[in-house]
Homo-oligomer: A and B are copies of this chain.
Amino acid sequence: MLGGQTALLETRPVVDAWASAVCKKEGEGPLGDLFDMIHTDDTMGEDNWEKAETRLFMDAVKRCIEKAGVTSGDVRMLLGGDLLNQLVASNFAGRELGIPFIGLFGACSTMAESLAVGAMILESGSADRLLCAASSHFCTAERQFRFPLEMGTQRPPSAQWTVTGAGAVMVSNRRTVLRPRPVITHVTIGKPIDLGVTDATNMGAAMAPAAADTLCRHLMDTSRTPTDYDVIATGDLGAVGSALFEELMREKGMPLLAHRHVDCGLMIFSPEQDVHSGGSGCGCSASVLCADLLPKVQKGKIGRLLFMATGALMSPVSANEGESIPSIAHAVVIERPEEV
């Protein structure tokens, strides 16, 4: 226990394994070589988009179980979510996998939410091994949140592109000398913050204040400064949101150096890929965490990572009713293996 919104995890839960699964466009991006699986067809061979996303979720989870060298029967709980109404992608994956399931919704913050809740459950001793996972799919998200794909709607420069991808992380209390692994040391649970943004094609602006709020609370709770982190990774503020976030942190007197702050939404696609402000979706920060960030922590290239995923809690129904978009950010501190 610590104070405020942050919990210090004394047992330092171990990040045993991680895996990512994405589709063609993500595979063509700057991180293309780092994903565990790259589908070439965005239907993943299924007959609808929702099933395609479930398949992606399962791919990441199954590969993660494999990489951890265990079976699904060894996993005590699966904490997961996605962007879809009633979490169909993850619920349906849970049905296939037969693992006790805790459904979470935090929009694009879900990967951090699942890691934060999962780490606290491990800290309680209520489970010895669990899986945290999240997914998104461009085709399921666009039609649910915005317009039918067939319309070919024009997108403003502030719009983000929903990543077709999933990430899964196995966390446990097994500390082994032979296979040192990254550890989770702190989690910070964010508050829903709403400064009145109503534009669903500018989620970065809606989410930046939530990211700044959670980061400030985290630094206050831990008596740290941004320089205590090798990398502060947000996901997914995109170009517009990242600039606003950095400006807000400067205003609060805690400037971030550009090379310390990375954004998963800016890492997964290159500017040439025509995604405007960057990537988004639960699967964006989930797959970037598993493909790029965790391997760097494992190798000691990042000594201490603050992984802070952000979510725009927007709903087409409430938007039609004139509501603005509350946003949330949860943060998890992951440190390199103690023995490295």
**How many residues of chain A get a CB closer than 8 Å to chain B's CBs?**
60
Q: Does A120 contact B (CB under 8 A)?
A: yes
Question: Which one of B1, B76, B101, B113 contacts A128 once the chains associate, using CB atoms below 8 Å?
Answer: B1
Is the C-beta of A190 less than 8 angstroms from some C-beta in chain B? Answer: yes
For chain A, residues 1 to 59, give those with C-beta under 8 angstroms from any C-beta of chain B.
1, 5, 7, 9-10, 48, 50-51
B-contact bits for A184-201, CB 8 A (1 contact / 0 none) = 000101111110000000
Please give me the residue from chain B that is nearest to A187 by CB atom.
Answer: B126
* Cβ-based interface call for A167 (8 A): no
Is B88 within 8 A of A315, CB to CB? yes
CB-defined contacts of A99 to chain B, threshold 8 Å: 191
- Chain A contact residues, majority secondary structure: mixed
Q: Is the CB of A105 within 8 A of B87?
A: yes
Among residues 311 to 327 in chain A, which have CB atoms less than 8 Å away from a CB atom of chain B? 313-318, 321, 323, 326
Query: Among A77-85, A148-156, A260-268, A297-305, which stretch is in contact with chain B?
Result: A77-85
Collect the chain B residues with CB atoms within 8 Å of residue A124's CB. Answer: 7, 9, 120-126
Residue ranges of A at the interface with B (Cβ–Cβ < 8 Å): 1, 5, 7, 9-10, 48, 50-51, 76-77, 81, 84-88, 91-92, 94-95, 98-107, 113, 116-117, 120-128, 144, 187, 189-194, 313-318, 321, 323, 326, 328
A7-B125, A87-B313, A120-B120 known; 8 new pairs, CB 8 Å cut-off, are A5-B100, A9-B126, A100-B189, A103-B105, A103-B313, A104-B105, A117-B117, A121-B124
For the complex of A and B, the 10 pairs showing the least CB-CB separation, nearest first, are: A7-B126, A124-B124, A86-B315, A123-B124, A100-B189, A95-B192, A94-B192, A95-B326, A85-B85, A103-B105
